Chains A and B, each alone.
Chain A
Amino acid sequence: GAGVSQSPRYKVAKRGQDVALRCDPISGHVSLFWYQQALGQGPEFLTYFQNEAQLDKSGLPSDRFFAERPEGSVSTLKIQRTQQEDSAVYLCASSLDPGYYGYTFGSGTRLTVV
């Protein structure tokens, strides 16, 4: 596609509920990243995929967070047993080659845990 597509755009979850956030990167971009952005803060790295391989998940805040990209294109970020502190905007980005090109971010999913 022309850009990085994320869905849903907004998600309200009750505390303890599981959520799944979807990212459809730009076609041909092998690198895919998930970031978490709290209100008024800069994006913080969560995890990185190169094709279907998850090469870095050091930013995932707890084992309740899980990401996958089984076929090397669409990725899903899953949060189990959501907590209030999980409320944030979750941004997905893709890049043709992160060493040489900037990242293209999606519009994000705003997660509110009530």
Chain B
Amino acid sequence: GQQVMQIPQYQHVQEGEDFTTYCNSSTTLSNIQWYKQRPGGHPVFLIQLVKSGEVKKQKRLTFQFGEAKKNSSLHITATQTTDVGTYFCADQTGANNLFFGTGTRLTVIP
């Protein structure tokens, strides 16, 4: 079955440092969506990537979709304490199923 793994599982950074989480799939990804879930909260949609090699930016966040559509990454520049949470990638395998990765939990030390 489909497996979407994210690394690292946990990441502790000092405030101001950069952070990257990687999303890797055993099969070709369809559309990748990224979500952020704050502690005790619910997933919040960040962005969707559709095209091979696509790169999108949102302020300090940079999202990339691999050329072979088997991986994706999220990079945060100069982390802030508000970036704390778990970041999930999710593959939209069809019109009716979003398959979530294992998540990367980010802790930012002030």
Contact = CB atoms under 8 A, between A and B. Distances in A.
Contacts of B45: 102-104
A105 B42 contact: yes
A99 B95 contact: yes
A42 B23 CA distance: 13
Given A42-B102, A42-B103, A105 B96 contact: no
Nearest to B98: A103
Contacts of B88: 42-43
Interface residues of A, number: 25
B99 interface: yes
Interface string B74-110: 0000000000000010101001111111110000000
Nearest to A56: B96
Interface residues of B, number: 23
Given A42-B88, A42-B103, A98 B98 contact: yes
Contact of A105 (B43, B46, B48, B92): B43
A55 B100 contact: no
A65 interface: no
11 contacts: A42-B90, A42-B103, A45-B97, A48-B97, A91-B42, A99-B31, A102-B33, A102-B35, A102-B46, A104-B45, A106-B42
Interface of A: 31, 33, 41-45, 48, 50, 55-56, 59, 91, 93, 98-108
